[in-house]
Amino acid sequence: MSLYSTPMAFEEVPLDRPVERSPIDEPPAPPSAWRWAAVALAGVAAGGALAFWWMSRSLPETATPAPTMATDVAVGSNRPQRQPMDLPSLDTSDHFLAGLVAALSQNPTLARFIATPGLVRATTLAVIQVGQGRTPADPLKVLRPASRLSILGTSSGRVDPKTYARWDPMVAALTSVSPTDAAQLYVNVKPLFDQAYIELGNPGGDFDTAVGQAIAMLDETPAKAEDSQLLRRTNFLEHEDATLRALPPVQKQFLLIGPDNRRRVLEWLHQVAGKLELKTK
């Protein structure tokens, strides 16, 4: 995988283009109160037993902490502790991680994303690109909406509010996992993300840094830019306001999901960041 550096004009972003959807596996059965049944019934090999142990809500509060590791939480921190778990290699982690995520949510759009080959590497690349202001077109291509952006006008106009609904399934997929479960899952499998992060040119790097930078980049998107006028160009649209045209591509794309969806995404991200005690400024 490689990072994408070619600048994209507004609405040239491939994320906004319709693509052919590929068949996906059916999501697992709804999780029970103990959550382990969903993992077992789904037949999650290589990680099912471990997922059952972690997902169980019967973990004693006085459980013995895992041996000290580089990713362990600092003394006095409220960040979730990494629970003992034998992780697969990065190259063979797809099925394992997909099983853990499926045990937390049966959202169909999320199920389509976790079927992505090289799931950890794709997610890592997407987070890095967002933090750098780039649009993660390739790693998140399965999440592209099927419809195009439309405006209230012929040659210029504001975004048609109906356009924002095309992003509803993606936002629902993200927020279908509780921030608490997302934070715990992240801590448990973080060594895999750290390895993928190092592969992408960050020797000795901590993936927490990339996550914090990505959240900060989205957080800095202008709050009321959806009220601005858009100009229709050949094969794309751009802001009439030069200041908005100068925004990083990912912020332009983030504006296209609409104010309500943007608020839901940021609220979810801030809750996860808070539980992980990440720096996002």
Number of domains in the chain: 1
Asked if 214 and 133 count as a contact pair (C-beta separation under 8 A), the reply is: no
Asked if 158 and 227 count as a contact pair (C-beta separation under 8 A), the reply is: yes
Task: Note the pLDDT tens digit of each residue in 47-96.
Answer: 443 443 444 433 333 343 444 444 444 557 899 999 889 999 999 999 99
Asked if 127 and 214 count as a contact pair (C-beta separation under 8 A), the reply is: yes
* Domain-located, residue 16: no
* Domain-located, residue 10: no
Domain residue limits at 104: 23-276
Residues of the chain with pLDDT under 70: 1-75, 224-227
* Domain-located, residue 18: no
Q: Which pairs with CB-CB distance under 8 Å and at least 24 residues apart come from 58-66? A: 58/34, 59/83
* Domain-located, residue 132: yes
* Domain-located, residue 7: no
b/e per residue, 23-58, with b = 16+ CB within 10 A? eeeebbeebeeebbbbbeebebeebbebbbebbeee
* Domain-located, residue 15: no
Task: Note the pLDDT tens digit of each residue in 219-228.
Answer: 999 876 656 7
Q: Residue 163's closest CA among 178, 180, 179, 151? A: 151
* Cβ partners under 8 Å of residue 54, min gap 6: 83, 85, 100, 184, 188
Q: What is the pTM of this model?
A: 0.73
Residue 281: per-residue pLDDT: 77
* Domain-located, residue 198: yes
* Domain-located, residue 62: yes
- Measured CA angle at 125 (ends 111, 26), to 5 deg: 10
